[in-house]
Amino acid sequence: MRVIHHATPTHAANGVFLIVHANPNPARRRWLLRALQGMIGATVIAILYPVARFLRPRKATVSGALELVAPLKPKDLLNGSAKPFDFAGKPCLLVLLPEGAKRLAQGERLQTDDVRAFNAVCTHVDCTVKYRPSEGDIFCNCHDGVYDLDGRNVSGPPPRPLEKYKVTLRGEPGQEEIVVSRQA
Amino acid sequence: MTTAYRRLIATCQYFLGVLAILVTRVTFGQTVDLPADYSCSLCHRKQGELWNENTPLTDESNMAGDIHWQKGLRCHDCHGGAPTLDKFKNHRDDPEFRSVRLRTSIPGFCGHCHSSIETMRRFAPSARTDQEAEYWTSGHGRRLRASSRDDESRVDKAVATCVDCHGGHGILAVNNVKAPVYPTNVAQTCARCHANQTIMANRTFNDQPLGHDQFDQWRRGVHGRALLEKGDLSAATCNDCHGNHGAMPPGVDSVANACGTCHGKIANLFAETRMKHKFQEARLPGCATCHGTHETIQPSDELLGMEGTSICARCHNPQNPQYGATVAGEAAARAMRDRLEQLKDQIAQSEALVRAAERLGMEIRGPRFDLRQATDALTNARTLVHSFKPGPLEATLGEGLKVTDQVQAAARAAMREHTSRRVWLAASLVPILMVVALLLIYIRTLTPPSAVEPGEPGSAGH
Amino acid sequence: MKLLSTLRAFFDERLGLEAVRALARKKRVPNHGCSHFYYLGGMALFLFLVQIVTGILLSLYYKPSPDQAFESVRAIMTEVEFGWLIRSAHSWSANLLIGVLFLHLLTTYMMRAYRRPREMTWISGVLLLGLFMAFGFSGYLLPWNELAFFATRVGTAIVGVIPFIGDHLLLLARGGEDVTGDTLARFYSLHIVVLPLVTFGILGLHLFLVQKHGMSVPVLTAADGEHRTPSIPFVPHFLLRDMVGWYLALALLAALSALFPWELGTKADPFASAPAGIKPEWYFLFMFQTLKILPARLGPFEGEVCGVLFFGLCGLVVLLVPFLDRGGKSRMVLNVLAALAVAFFIFMTAWSWFSGPGQGVRQIMLGTLLVAVVLFLLIPFARAHSAARSAVYVCLAISVIAFLSASGWELMR
């Protein structure tokens, strides 16, 4: 068995794999191996860390969704101060009807129609509408457009009614979740 | 001839007439169904037995669609007189007959029913009954009266009466899309005369020539395009500003009221400005001063300010102020325009930053959603311009600018996060490349393999 | 450690691992002028592994329905932590993998590694290439963006051009007349179930055959007997060098993912018209461009049909190379054909890539990369230490520098 021993660096015949033999100092070799293992460990961690973070659950998705639990509770809707939130990229206005407000005050369970959800983009020139509990209507401040609580355009320039979303309420009375959903 | 013989002739002629009707119905198709004993068509139809060239013909082509016909009214309900002849009778001898040979009698002819509350209640309870009264106050009515006052034969034949707009024998209901007075057709109907150079020649109003270009102008303007191209029935057409039957150009002080019928908020803002009073003093036509009368152009921000094509500069010209236009006004115009442009710039910048962040794949939907508030503020501000005071504008624009600042900050933060990813990448490359380096060194320390092992195949296997 | 050796002994006894270890000890890798081509197989395996891992991770968040696909990919890119990294790695790795596979095919051909008894290794390899291109095609549709949608529509339409069975194939591929949610479901199932299973099978066969027959050696080197070629042990000498390659690939992937994250595009709208300049992924460009330039009719046949059949024929020829190569004349013919094929591939790909809306710097990047690849392949043809070899190295260095500069420029924008 021919074994090639070389004390000095050499090239294997014709080969691309350079066989170089540096003096194998055992201590150096051990140190080298340890360092190598350490660095490999570091790279493994560098790979596993993002993977681990990736696997963690994320916040509920907002855009493009067909259905969403509103970030507002019924009690946030009293006196019409609730701002529209993002639903499928468009502002969604939640309206708590007077009957609903009464039921809420008395601690009764809300009925489905007590909360209504609309696409808050005015059909005139795309301003954001707001709910006016004092007038019992939905109002667009830009050009005095008025919608009724069914979203129908009743006065002013808006040419079409507001897009209406479906609302489902679930949960304990007073703590209901408002689930807003739309057609695709 | 004896009476009996005449009667015999009449009866024979009657039956022949009926036969003629039946035959013509078969051969010529559509004719309206008159009751069996009606005798109008004996004279007033070309195929009628007793027609001659001097007899006026009825145009029955649209009669079946006529709203009056559909309600069951027949010839004599409008024209009066007796519908059946028991002997040959001249209309002029019939006191019940209502003639329309004179143009000036047309309004009264229609008004016979349409001004009667009892009559109209039977057919259309909620219909108005003041059209005839309105008509006589209108430009058309006045002209009709004035031209025929002294001599009926010199009546102005070109002036519109009821039948010129509504039609004669084929009157369609107003809500019928083919009616000449359906909203999309109104302007066309008015234009029949008001766009005709010959008819409108030498006609004046308040010593100004009436002209004939209103229809073209309106068609080019926002209202014309909205109505005709977009089919928006709520857009203003002739009668919305000039009135229906009492059609007159609105006085210069009433222009703002006419516009304000629809553009309520803006008209209210304008009503409280000093400009409104100045306009009235100078006899300027309110809104139309800046926005045009018939050719109401699409308003743009360029109308405001003191540069280029702006309208403010026309009066608030420092070298040549008109109508008492003030320097303060000039400053206000400039200020309002500058602030509007500032918000527009900021919105554009915010959009660009948001787009850049999106392109980098960063989560930016929240700020994009918030940017709406800034565009809302801009729309609001454009309305508030009509208060012609920088103050209210400032407040709205300020809110908008706050939003754009926030959005831009968020977008920049997203892009910084993107950069930080690259930094972390560089950091992660360090251990990787160190492994590579160490491997290469380690490989050098490996025991050199025997180059070949004779007797053993160079590769594993067989 | 004591624990480790006890565990080792435990599993050895029950699973017979000693046989595997013996095999590993005995396996050697020939050491000759073309030996650096041996890295390509392992590199492909490594990239495939990356694909499996990132693919599994992506499947945890991806939703395969037309109204949710795009949104879910968007969520992965923007909401899931490091989702952008995993997704970009998956997309880049796919492209690198197919590139490596092309190189592996080409270099195996050049080394004539398909000679008896390795014909089946070659056949299984060609089948694997087809499978991976199917992976690429099916995976491309999954983000359901505009480019993907229309590229799939065009691609499946081309399948429909095949005479007799084309219509059935089209319906089978699309799951209907047009590209719809059914197509998406079908492609998804293909991509994560059917193709992986088939690939594991054929890959297993391929790897088994490689172990069984060992690494082949080029003809000239084997002139004095294959068993006399200098070689190095697989473990640890070759394996450690392989690892260097893998780590470099890892670095490249990390850099590409972080610096050039994969685009989201715009959501597909089946009713919109196709955007201008639609193109499939680069590994289909040569076919795409050929079909584009073919005239509508070639004699009595439709141009497209000729094109598709031509490529089918080419694929068949590639598959049967071990049987077509009888040495001497036939070998020369095959060599000429191979050179033509490579030139054709590069030319058509470049033509298609550089036509259409310019992407400026990215085109330069790609161009320099292509040049570098070609030069890499030429290395073994230039004798070691000759002027030619040095020239190749210099050109390679220039093109790599050019590539890095172009990338740097693109980054700074």
A14 to C33: CB separation less than 8 angstroms, yes or no: yes
C371-396 exposure pattern, b = at least 16 Cβ within 10 A, e = fewer: bbbbbbbebbebeeeeeebeebeeeb
All residues at 6 or more sequence positions from C392 whose CB lies less than 8 Å from its CB, including other chains? C375, C378, C379, C382
Scan for tokens 């493009």, then name that residue: A64
Average confidence (pLDDT) over C245-274: 86
Average confidence (pLDDT) over C154-174: 87
All residues at 6 or more sequence positions from C72 whose CB lies less than 8 Å from its CB, including other chains? C61, C62, C63
Q: Which residue, among B236, B233, B234, B214, has the nearest Cα to B223 in the 3D structure?
A: B236
In chain B, which residues touch A (CB < 8 A)?
A: 232, 234, 262-266, 365-366, 368-369, 372-373, 375-376, 379-380, 383, 428, 431-432, 434-435, 438-439, 441-442, 444-445, 447-454
Of residues C231, C247, C261, nearest to B435 (C-beta):
C247
- Give the C-alpha separation, C152 to C150, whole Å: 5
Q: Identify all chain B residues contacting A36, using CB atoms and an 8 Å cutoff.
A: 435, 438-439, 442
Average confidence (pLDDT) over B228-249: 86
Burial label for B90, CB within 10 Å (0-12, 13-18, 19+), is: exposed
pLDDT at C299: 79
pLDDT at B1: 55
Q: Report how far Cα C108 is from the mean position of its chain's Cα atoms.
A: 14
Q: What are phi and psi for residue C34, nearest 5 degrees?
A: -100, 15
Q: Identify all chain A residues contacting B376, using CB atoms and an 8 Å cutoff.
A: 127-128, 142
Average confidence (pLDDT) over C380-397: 78
pLDDT in tens, B339-351: 999 999 999 999 9
Q: Which residue, among C413, C40, C23, has the nearest Cα to C245 in the 3D structure?
A: C40
Least confident of A60-69, C250-259, C272-281, C388-397: A60-69
pLDDT at B450: 65
pLDDT at B293 exceeding the cut of 80: yes
Q: Between C385 and A118, where is the model more confident? A: A118
pLDDT at A59: 65
Of residues B432, B454, B460, nearest to C23 (C-beta):
B460
What are the C-alpha distances in Å from B227 to residues B162, B178, B232, B364, C109? 24, 15, 5, 40, 73
Q: Please tell me which of A20-29, B389-398, C95-104 the model is most confident about, judged by mean pLDDT.
A: C95-104
Of residues A17, A56, A59, nearest to C232 (C-beta):
A17
- Give the C-alpha separation, B387 to B380, whole Å: 12
Residue type for position B325: A
Alpha-helical segments (H) within B272-326: 274-281, 287-291, 312-315
With contact defined as 3+ CB pairs under 8 Å, the chains touching B are: A, C
Q: Radius of gyration of chain A from Cα atoms? A: 34
CA angle centred on B200, ends B198 and B201, rounded to 5°: 65
pLDDT at A73: 85
In chain A, which residues touch C (CB < 8 A)?
A: 12-17, 19, 43, 50-51, 53-56, 58-59, 61, 63-66, 184
Do residues A96 and A67 make contact, with C-beta atoms less than 8 angstroms apart? no
DSSP B352-411: HHHHHHHHTT---HHHHHHHHHHHHHHHHHHHHGGG--HHHHHHHHHHHHHHHHHHHHHH
Q: Identify all chain C residues contacting A64, using CB atoms and an 8 Å cutoff.
A: 67-68, 70-71, 74
Is the minimum CB–CB distance between A69 and chain B shorter than 8 Å? no
Q: Where are the beta strands (DSSP E) in B75-183?
A: none
Shortest distance, CA A172 to any CA of chain B (angstroms)? 30
Shortest distance, CA A3 to any CA of chain C (angstroms)? 12
pLDDT at B14: 65
DSSP B400-459: HHHHHHHHHHHHHHHHHHHHHHHHHHHHHHHHHHHHHHHHHHHHHHSPPPPS--TTS-SS
Q: Predicted confidence band at A182 (pLDDT cuts at 50, 70, 90)?
A: confident
Average confidence (pLDDT) over C267-275: 82
- Give the C-alpha separation, B371 to B369, whole Å: 5
Least CA distance to A39: which residue of chain C?
A: C247
All residues at 6 or more sequence positions from C256 whose CB lies less than 8 Å from its CB, including other chains? C88, C92
Do residues B430 and A38 make contact, with C-beta atoms less than 8 angstroms apart? no
Of residues A2, A43, A127, nearest to B435 (C-beta):
A43
Average confidence (pLDDT) over B234-238: 87
Query: Would the ipTM clear 0.90, i.e. be above it?
Result: no
Provide the whole-model pTM: 0.67
Q: Identify all chain A residues contacting B454, using CB atoms and an 8 Å cutoff.
A: 1-2
Q: Identify all chain A residues contacting B379, using CB atoms and an 8 Å cutoff.
A: 125-127, 142
Q: Between C57 and B96, where is the model more confident? A: C57
> Are β-strands A164-170 and A115-119 bridged in parallel, bridged antiparallel, or unpaired?
antiparallel
Do residues A179 and A68 make contact, with C-beta atoms less than 8 angstroms apart? yes
Percentage of the residues of chain B whose pLDDT score is greater than 70: 89
pLDDT at A38 exceeding the cut of 50: yes
- Give the C-alpha separation, B337 to B382, whole Å: 10
* C-alpha torsion A18→A21→A27→A29, nearest 10: 20
Residue type for position B224: G
Q: Identify all chain A residues contacting C384, using CB atoms and an 8 Å cutoff.
A: 14
pLDDT at A106: 87
Shortest distance, CA C161 to any CA of chain B (angstroms)? 37
C228 to B452: CB separation less than 8 angstroms, yes or no: yes
Shortest distance, CA C22 to any CA of chain A (angstroms)? 19
pLDDT at A10: 39
pLDDT in tens, B3-20: 777 777 766 666 665 565
Q: Predicted confidence band at B220 (pLDDT cuts at 50, 70, 90)?
A: very high
pLDDT in tens, B124-177: 888 899 999 999 999 899 999 998 888 888 888 889 999 999 988 889 988 888
Q: Identify all chain B residues contacting A21, using CB atoms and an 8 Å cutoff.
A: 444, 447-448
What are the C-alpha distances in Å from C102 to residues B415, C96, C283? 37, 10, 9
Q: What are phi and psi for residue C267, nearest 5 degrees?
A: -60, 140
